[in-house]
Chain A
Amino acid sequence: MGEIHPTLSQCALVTAALKILLFPAYKSTDFEVHRNWLAITNSLPLWEWYYEKTSEWTLDYPPFFAYFEWIMSQVAKLVDPAMLKVYNLDYDSWQTIYFQRFTVIITELLLVYALQMFVDSSHGASKRAAQAAAISILLSPGLLIIDHIHFQYNGCMYGMLIASLVLARQRATLLWSGLAFAALLCMKHIYLYLAPAYFVFLLRAYCLAPRSFFRIQLLNCVKLGAGILAIFGTAFGPFALKGQIPQILSRLFPFSRGLCHAYWAPNVWAMYSFLDRVLIVLAPRLGLPVKASALNSVTRGLVGDTSFAVLPDVTPRVCFALTLAFQAIPLARLFFRKTIAWEDFIGAVTLCGYASFLFGWHVHEKAVLLVIIPFSLIALKDRRYLGAFRPLAVAGHVSLFPLLFTPAEFPIKTVYTLFWLLLFLMVFDRLAPASTRPRFFLFDRFSTLYITVSIPLIVYCSLVHGIVFGKSYEFLPLMFTSSYSAIGVVGSWLGFMVVYFTS
């Protein structure tokens, strides 16, 4: 069989055209963040990178990302040296914009490459489905909104993640999968959320004998351990020599931040806050005590400590415990399976992503890609997987809308997302094979109803609210969006848990 059309490179080219046209679009403070990091890494000695604080956007990614910025800054020097001055705050000459936006497009080639690896690693009937899934990731509205408008480098890093996941498909490349993931952790520590799945998987499939839990494959353990040590050594070693590790850790893990991020990520805590808001109204009738001090904090949706008026407060410890508990459930199953299929591993990664997204402390709405992207790789396994994927695809992308609030980008984010949803829900629906097991409950109905509700919701949040209330009650559309999306993500999580445990 020849190539499947369209090819990934064809799609990548056409989207690149759209992405270049988006150069003048809105860019968030993340643009300045990355410009500042270019400046820091280029103009300061290594030892000062994690201490520099001229800009409020201090370096808070692990060292590999800092090295990555350093490499880019070597090119940036030729484009516009002024962008590399640490004191040049909020500098955005057109050369800087072109350069930074271009680096996002160029580094995203890694994603294209990894997706091609994924397609090439699939065989037979599933190849066509793999191609569809790969294109859906390549064209993901999440990446378009976050990377190419809002501004970040997720495309490149999800490329590394996918490459690592694909390497796990064959026994011969298991080691490389683990090492690629270790390198990814040294780029961006948010992937720690997925680390438990990797740990359990590599332990079971690589470090222990296939037949018995009690026979340790010593050579493999040494190879993996040495490799990981080497990678972490390259990343953190230079800083460890100067005793800067505590400083780096305090930058990487700022526990002083609140439970909910500026906008509420659509997770359990968004529903919890929503419930709390409702209880404020109901409390007098139910005779519940209301903490007056908390009354105004959530409504503004600002960064800071979130306190609840009626429900008990949530501590980082609780979040951490809940996250680990819900990760442990699928991981236990992964560990005790007789043979681990690749899809089981991807499922476990996805469920780890779900658990940390749903229960984590200070989760950012952008983290939803941690769930969507691994899930996309297996969403076409059969119709039951697809049933769980659909509400996530809708909720996850709709929840990203508040990231872009400027009117000029409104048509882009809505039309592009609608385009993607229409196209891929249609294509996936035709490509997903029927399951060998019976459908288990009314999940299809739920997801259809759920998807339908999104339309009036978007209309209300983007148009009706502004006309009716103007600038007041600004938290309402945000709260509706995140509560709605939370229902979708939680529903899809429950659905996928059932699928995972019954397949």
Chain B
Amino acid sequence: MAKPSPSPHKPRRKAKQAAVASGSFVASSFGPVETMTRVPTFPLAALLWPARGSVSQWELLPLILMTAGLFRWAAGLWGYSGFEKPPMFGDYEAQRHWMEITTHLPISQWYFHDLQWWGLDYPPLTAYHSWICGKIGSLINPAWFALFSSRGSHDPTLKIFMRATVVVSEYLVYIPAVVIFVRRYSRLSGVATWSASLALVAILMQPGTILIDHVHFQYNTVMLGFVVASMSSMLAGRDLWAAVFFVAALGFKQMALYYAFSVFAYLLGSCLFPRLRLSHLMAIATVTVISFAILILPLAVGTLADAKRGIDALPDIDGPRPPLPLFPWLADHLDTEGSTYLVVEQLVQMIHRIFPFARGLFEDKVANFWCALNVVIKIKRYPAALLQRAALLATLASIIPPNLVLFFRPRKDLLPLAFAATAWGFFLFSYQVHEKSVLLPLAPMTLLLAGSHGLSKTTRAWVGFANILGCWTMFPLLRRVDLSVPYAVLTLLWAYLLGLPPTSLGVYFHDGGNTWTQWATLFIHGGFYLLMLFWHVLVQFVVPPPDKPDLWVVANVGVGAAGFSLCYLWCLWRLMMQADILPRSWLARKDKVKAQ
């Protein structure tokens, strides 16, 4: 398997070299806490132990990528969301359906076609991606994406094709982005190559992304990959590319907006501090606008071309066209018969589809603040407008602190923490959050493993806690289609590799450091891990009372929201510490109080 099997060998030249390598690795990545480690402290380090020293990255990297691929593909052998669950099936059908409509309908009808059956509600890059996948798939078997007749298809070969599109898309976007990010970030933080390889394995084996993309079925890693590529470009000082990649991320999945404030704060901050760089700012703005233009160009040009050929975007509607959604007043300023109007209509429809303002504060049970609050007071009683405003204010209150730090200290090493804190803020407080959105804060937080002290026990404890809690809150979603086994295997494997509970308590005990903090962390994390375990026992063996059929899910939401709030606070705290933004004296005092 996997990563696992790195060579149990010591290079022939080694003796001296290995000592040097492990020495530097101790100094750079583990810090004073675990000085002079001569034995691996967690199983992942043991598995890659023989690769210390003289093994080149080019020997190790292919093995790591193959391992990651094997686990992804093997996990994909299990069922997907909505498998044999008529009438609507699930996310798998949505993605397949988009391949069906993009390959068969004129581009101007994409955002209008039969919205009741998984109407397209992602930005255009997803639509283009679906078009490419659909074209390739139709070459293999046209029936997979035949208009109408293919709905709800569960052809096993189609499943293999769909799984392959996820893996290929990920290996084209997310994986190269992560590999490059880890390399740049670890160099920036002075981390040895070997430790960086450990972090790379840990990031790629993150259970959440595998479970949602390769088992449940979605293409989140493409969007996350563009975000990581954007961060990676920031690390390399290529701010223009950062803007382009971020637009691509937004263009693939609107969820990337969770990071938008941080991208904005960093790019703006780096134009203002330490010295004003107005031309740089203008360049970034221009490139961003051009990227957006290119993103929607096919849609706009396609609409005009369709209109010229007499193809109507809404062929099913006789009589007057429905008014523009969202911005009905626009129609007063435009010639509704002109071609500009068609393009505007198209774009407004797209935005309307992407941002479902009309839906409630939250839909399903999701482990964020509002859903947890709903347990205590039935907030759905309050008017929607009030709730929307409350959500907006709470979100702003939570994301302004990390972004102010990033704005005034636009330092590269702060990026993952700031991104993570901002995304946590959005996840906890914003509108229309989905349980799968937890992948967004988890991604940058997990990238911390590649940074300085990334593999130290404290960082592993917190990054691990967030990831395992995140997977746990997605369990109700996975259980609906009998995916408990891949959930258990992938989550426990990752916990084992990184030496985390429930497989080991090692991360909570180390020599040196603040004993008080260690015990407090153990107490808090241990409490959560016990709750998670207890909850699994309940779900498995106890039927909830008949008048509260959702009791277990609600409990999951409450515990999850509390844990995620801690993760938000930890990221914010680390960010402020690392940015040296707090006065020293205050910091020393606070250190004792804070359970870190």
**Contact residues of A with B, CB < 8 Å?**
2-7, 10-11, 13-15, 17-18, 20-25, 128-129, 131-132, 135, 139, 407-408, 411-412, 415-416, 418-420, 422-424, 426-427, 430-431
Contacts and interface: CB of A to CB of B under 8 A. Distances in A.
Contacts of A4: 8
Contacts of A407: 157, 160
B74 interface: yes
B378 interface: no
Contacts of A412: 70, 73-74
B1 interface: yes
Contact of A18 (B6, B8, B71, B492): B71
A128 B74 contact: no
Nearest to B62: A422
A92 B118 CA distance: 34
Contacts of B496: 13-14
A135 B50 CA distance: 13
A426 B9 CA distance: 10
Interface stretch (B41-49, B330-338, B514-522, B588-596): B41-49
B49 A419 contact: no
B73 A6 contact: no
Contacts of A129: 9
Given A5-B46, A10-B43, A15 B2 contact: yes
Nearest to A14: B4
Given A24-B77, A419-B66, A431-B7, 14 more contacts: A3-B39, A5-B47, A6-B4, A6-B43, A10-B4, A10-B47, A14-B1, A20-B489, A22-B77, A411-B69, A412-B70, A426-B59, A430-B9, A430-B12
Nearest to A144: B1
Q: Which of A22, A420, A427 has the most CB of B within 10 A?
A: A427
B67 interface: yes
Interface string B1-39: 111111111111000000000000000000000000001
26 contacts: A2-B39, A5-B47, A6-B6, A10-B46, A11-B4, A13-B43, A14-B1, A14-B4, A15-B1, A15-B2, A17-B1, A20-B489, A21-B71, A25-B77, A131-B8, A135-B8, A139-B5, A411-B73, A415-B66, A416-B1, A416-B70, A419-B2, A422-B63, A423-B5, A423-B6, A427-B7
Contacts of B423: none
Contacts of B9: 128-129, 132, 427, 430-431
B78 interface: yes
B74 A18 contact: yes
B46 A135 contact: no
Question: For the complex, would chain B's binding face be called helix, strand, loop or mixed by DSSP majority?
Answer: helix
Given A415-B70, A419-B67, A14 B8 contact: no
Contacts of B198: none
A17 B489 contact: yes
A353 B107 CA distance: 64
A15 B4 contact: yes
Nearest to B69: A415
A424 B6 CA distance: 9
Contacts of A6: 4-6, 8, 43, 46-47, 49-50
B501 interface: no
A327 to B, nearest CB: 33
B1 A18 contact: yes
A14 B66 contact: no
Interface of B: 1-12, 39-40, 43, 46-47, 49-50, 59, 62-63, 66-67, 69-71, 73-75, 77-78, 156-157, 160, 485-486, 489-490, 492-493, 496-497
A128 B78 CA distance: 38
Interface centre among A5, A15, A24, A424 (most CB of B within 10 A): A5
B62 A139 contact: no
Nearest to A132: B8
A416 B490 CA distance: 18
Contact of A21 (B66, B67, B489): B489
A102 to B, nearest CB: 11
- 3 residue pairs, one from A and one from B, having the closest CB atoms: A427-B7, A5-B49, A21-B74
Given A5-B50, A6-B4, A408 B70 contact: no
A14 B493 contact: yes
B7 A5 contact: no
A427 B5 CA distance: 10
A419 B63 contact: yes
A22 B8 contact: no
Nearest to B59: A426
A18 B205 CA distance: 12
A422 B7 CA distance: 11
Nearest to A15: B1
B274 to A, nearest CB: 46
Contacts of B6: 6, 423
A20 B73 CA distance: 13
A34 B463 CA distance: 44
Contacts of A431: 7, 9
Given A18-B74, A411-B73, A139 B8 contact: no
A427 B12 CA distance: 11
Contacts of B69: 411, 415
Contacts of A2: 39
A6 B2 CA distance: 12
Nearest to B74: A21
B157 to A, nearest CB: 7
Contacts of B4: 6, 10-11, 14-15, 139
B262 to A, nearest CB: 34
A431 B40 CA distance: 21
B482 to A, nearest CB: 8
Contact of A5 (B8, B66, B497): B8
A11 B5 contact: yes
Contacts of A426: 7, 59
A7 B5 CA distance: 10
A23 B489 CA distance: 12
B118 to A, nearest CB: 25
A409 to B, nearest CB: 9
A226 B255 CA distance: 75
B508 to A, nearest CB: 21
A14 B77 contact: no
Nearest to B210: A21
